[in-house]
């Protein structure tokens, strides 16, 4: 069974949406993702613009400004919800890890 699009977010998706809580253009997003993650996560232009287009089509972000080729974006309420759901999913994963490692095994 195929997973629903955006049911879970990749790291790159997560950080792009996180960055777009403030209006930014593509170059700013790439720089901020790198800075936020201390260069652990990078987003190349091809990946970034493909994801931005997908997020636009899904209504998770909106275009806020166009100045020549430079376009700026901002997260929508739908995007904020997806970001919060992914955060809760990651917390659940971390809690499962803690519970298993504190018990010394994989037992529930």
Q: Where are the domains of the chain?
A: 11-103
Q: What is the rounded CA–CA span in Å between residue 43 and residue 103?
A: 37
pLDDT tens digits, residue range 25-51?
Answer: 999 999 999 999 999 999 999 999 999
Asked if 85 and 106 count as a contact pair (C-beta separation under 8 A), the reply is no
Torsion, Cα 19 8 11 51, to 10 degrees, reads -60
Q: Residues 66-97: pLDDT tens digits?
A: 999 999 999 999 999 999 999 999 999 999 99
Domain 11-103 CATH class label: mainly alpha
Residue with the larger pLDDT of the pair 76 and 103: 76
Can you give the pLDDT at residue 7? 79
- Mean pLDDT across 3-20: 87
């Amino acid at each position: 069974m195929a997973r629903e699009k955006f049911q879970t977010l990749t790291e790159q998706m997560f950080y792009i949406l996180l960055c777009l809580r403030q209006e930014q253009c593509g170059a700013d997003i790439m720089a901020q993702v790198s800075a936020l993650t201390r260069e652990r996560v990078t987003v190349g232009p091809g990946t970034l613009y493909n994801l931005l287009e997908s997020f636009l089509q899904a209504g998770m972000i909106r275009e806020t400004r166009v100045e020549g080729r430079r376009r700026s974006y901002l997260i929508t309420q739908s995007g904020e919800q997806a970001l919060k759901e992914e955060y809760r999913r990651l917390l659940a994963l971390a809690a499962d890890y803690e519970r298993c490692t504190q018990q010394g095994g994989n037992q529930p």
